[in-house]
Amino acid sequence: MSLTRRMLGCLVILPCVLLAPATYAEISISEVQPLKFPTALMHFNKNTVVEVNWKGEIGNSTNTTLLDDDYHQGRYLVTSDTNLPISLDFISLANEPFVDLNRIRVRYKNKTYTSFPVSGLVNPGVNGEFVEIGAKLIANKKNSQGVKNPQYIISIQEQ
């Protein structure tokens, strides 16, 4: 076979390879349950604090009367089809005036994280790992009574 014919064969094959569909690695986050705070009485002369820790228990900083026991930690299942390290970020959306989420605690693979973002974490693999979240809700004394629904974003990315 001549050199020109071999080069022509390579030129024909090369565009086919370049046009092949790309494959992508994927990380998946499935919400098992969102972080939920119990119904509580609001103070009029000081900030109201309700803490639900990553274990789903009421924290010691809670300073008010709870009206129900309908609360739990946030729980998410994270899976990945690669072995790349991951980064994790927690972002409070501050969507409720005079209501803050702080003292955020995120538990992943038996370690608790308190500042975000966190990078270089071990990949959860195809079988997955749970991420558990706890936080302290602080309602400023200037806040009005009523249902509060503080929102947050969990971002997990492969690096």
Nearest Cα to Cα of residue 126 among 28, 23, 33: 28
Q: Which helix (H) or strand (E) holds 107?
A: strand 99-108
Q: 3-state class of 99 per DSSP?
A: strand
Does the pLDDT at position 129 exceed 50?
yes
Does the pLDDT at position 123 exceed 70?
yes
Distance separating alpha carbons of residues 4 and 103, to the nearest angstrom: 69
Two tokens, residue 125? 């693999």
Confidence of residue 16 (pLDDT cuts 50, 70, 90): very low
Two tokens, residue 87? 């980064």
75-115, pLDDT tens digit by residue?
999 999 999 999 999 999 999 999 999 999 999 999 999 99
Confidence of residue 124 (pLDDT cuts 50, 70, 90): very high
34-80, pLDDT tens digit by residue?
999 999 999 889 999 999 999 999 999 999 999 999 999 999 999 99
* Full-model pTM: 0.80
Confidence of residue 147 (pLDDT cuts 50, 70, 90): confident
